[in-house]
Chains A and B, each alone.
Chain A
Amino acid sequence: MLQTKLRPLPPAAYARCMAGIIRREGLRWVHQRGRFVSALVRPLVWLAIFAAGFRFVLGVSIIPPYETYIPYEVYIAPGLIAMIELFNGMQSSLSMVYDREMGSMKTLMVSPFPRWFLLLSKLLAGVAVAVVQSYIFLGIAWFWEIEPPAIGYLAVLPALILSGLMLGALGLVMSSFIRQLENFAGVMNFVIFPMFFASSALYPLWRVKESSLFLWWVCQLNPFTSATELIRFALYGRVDWMSAAVVIGCTVVFMAAAVAGYDPGRGLMARKAGAE
């Protein structure tokens, strides 16, 4: 096999490549107005309608990191932020599948940059969009009296980035599995819904434990629970170390799986190509 000896690329080239990918994702987000609006409306529907029906279900207990009784809106806000990030991760996974069908992925993949770097750039681009969306949501949520302390708005940033990375990396793994755009509906049914509902996003886990110990374990092991709790504690200026560890661990595992999945030599894509 003929191998071309490549000169190592200068760091500036890496930076330009990453900036390009992030910019493209940002432009796509701004221009797809439907996506922009739906990403914002989705959590607000939960907040304004769903939470209204359950407003005082939590009125009888104090759950850390909260220090007093809270209405349900305050409880589900961190879960809805995690939902924004989950949808965003899946959305960029969808766009990867789209890129592959349209051929623009080939352009990216034949670039001289290492594959892991391209995937990381893609991931960071998605996270940047998710973080901006989360802050917009927090801004609007303030009108629902979701008023974490000022320090919380700052402390939540690393939590948003970490959980965004994890859910984005999960999206990348998914996208290496999905062959066609049509299969995306399956992602909704088998990934987004179970992850969201079997977590601490909508109900505190002691409530789940009351009804089913098995489900409680499922919720505990669900990395989406860790993402939600990491954001929840960070919003009140506290660190949930256990959740942070789970989120970082999962990010590494998912990212490794994504890099492997996108390796044309031995990954899932190769197997898929063989199957076709």
Chain B
Amino acid sequence: MQTVRLAPALLGAALLAAPAARAERLFVSNEKDNTVTVLDGQTLAVTATVKVGDRPRGIVASPDGGSVYICTSDSDHVEMLDTKTLTVTRILSSGPDPELMTLSPDGQTLYVANENDNMVSVVDVKAGRVMTEIPVGVEPEGMGVSPDGRVLVNTSETTSMAHFIDTGTQQSIANVLVGSRPRVARFTADGKQVWVSAEVGGTVSVIDTASHTVVHTVSFAIPGVPAESIQPVGIAITPDAKTAFVALGPANRIAAVDAKTYEVRKYLLVGQRVWNLAFSLDGKRLYTTNGVSNDLSVIDVDGLRVVKSVPVGQLPWGVAVVP
């Protein structure tokens, strides 16, 4: 009798416990209203809205999730937001107009692209200041660092190149020509490839990191959507390197690309002008920031389905996930 009564209780507990694996928080940078929206990863409810500097864009979390770094572009610096107290605790200098940045795997160094002075700033996180500046192409934009932290890739919008930089010597190793107006650079988890999106070119170049050559160019075609609306920006590659997700900007779609055959498996309808992407900590969900519709969409990675879209701030740019 006791077991009979217990069974539903246990089932209920199991159902409640299941989503607990997603105990995580999302930090979304809202470019227009100068805030960061904090959401509960489980309920997707907005738990806080934090005022930050002007025009927050690039956003990355520290490896321990204790802080989030935000490029406040029009304030010309990087802000460090404590994820517990939800206050900006430090200001890091970054060089003018920082937009995109990447954090070294050890969490010690920030590499920031300064769009206006054709430099990549190397910022020491502890000291909070720029240690060196590496000259790159015109209008530097995308930043990616290899999993071992040895190689940095920066894309320059006007030069249409991906610049490979040795983080030890801080010298350029190679320059690879990619599609027009390159945006985001992402390494695969094994570090063997870098995927670079080209906003105007409408393509994604897959670069072999050993030979520094483009091994494949992924292109996109969505029936009924004009080609000029297809503007690849954000890239997220699953840790098992099976699927690469590419945000297609004003096409309002995420392309799920088979990372082995480079075929597009599916286009997923999300909000308007989808810009950047981030995986949940367990890798089962993908979060997308939709700038024009002011919301965040959640994608089921295995099922390739859009599960939900929730409103955030004005012009959401990027998202970082912390435990």
Chain A residues proximal to chain B, CB less than 8 Å? 55-56, 59-60, 62, 67-71, 147
Whether B252 lies near A67 (C-beta < 8 A) is no
Whether B309 lies near A67 (C-beta < 8 A) is yes
Q: Nearest B residue to A145 by beta-carbon distance?
A: B305
A55, A56, A59, A67: the one contacting B307 at CB < 8 Å is A67
Task: Beyond the given A68-B298, A68-B306, please list 9 additional residue pairs across the A-B interface where CB-CB is below 8 A.
Answer: A60-B272, A68-B269, A68-B270, A69-B252, A69-B270, A69-B306, A69-B309, A71-B269, A147-B305
Whether A69 lies near B307 (C-beta < 8 A) is no
Q: Report, nearest first, the 6 A-B pairs whose CB atoms are least far apart.
A: A68-B309, A67-B308, A68-B306, A69-B269, A68-B308, A62-B309
Q: Is B297 among interface residues, defined by CB-CB distance under 8 A? A: yes
Interface residues contributed by chain B, number (CB under 8 Å): 14
Q: Shortest distance in angstroms between A167's beta carbon and chain B's nearest beta carbon?
A: 32
B residues 224-274 touching A (CB-CB < 8 Å): 224, 252, 269-272
Q: Is B293 among interface residues, defined by CB-CB distance under 8 A? A: yes
Secondary structure of the A contact surface, majority rule? loop
> A71: which B residues are within 8 A, CB to CB?
269
Whether B271 lies near A69 (C-beta < 8 A) is yes
CA distance A51 to B13 in the complex (A): 42
CA distance A254 to B309 in the complex (A): 40
Whether A55 lies near B224 (C-beta < 8 A) is yes
> B271: which A residues are within 8 A, CB to CB?
69
> A59: which B residues are within 8 A, CB to CB?
252, 269
Q: Scoring B residues 297 to 312 as 1 if CB is less than 8 Å from chain A, else 0, what string do you get?
A: 1100000011111000
Whether B224 lies near A68 (C-beta < 8 A) is no
> B309: which A residues are within 8 A, CB to CB?
62, 67-69
Whether A70 lies near B269 (C-beta < 8 A) is yes
> B252: which A residues are within 8 A, CB to CB?
59, 69
B residues 261-297 touching A (CB-CB < 8 Å): 269-272, 293, 297
Q: Shortest distance in angstroms between B10's beta carbon and chain A's nearest beta carbon?
A: 20
> B224: which A residues are within 8 A, CB to CB?
55-56
> B297: which A residues are within 8 A, CB to CB?
68-69
Q: Shortest distance in angstroms between A69's beta carbon and chain B's nearest beta carbon?
A: 5
A-B contact pairs, 6 of them (CB 8 A): A56-B224, A67-B308, A67-B309, A68-B297, A68-B306, A69-B269
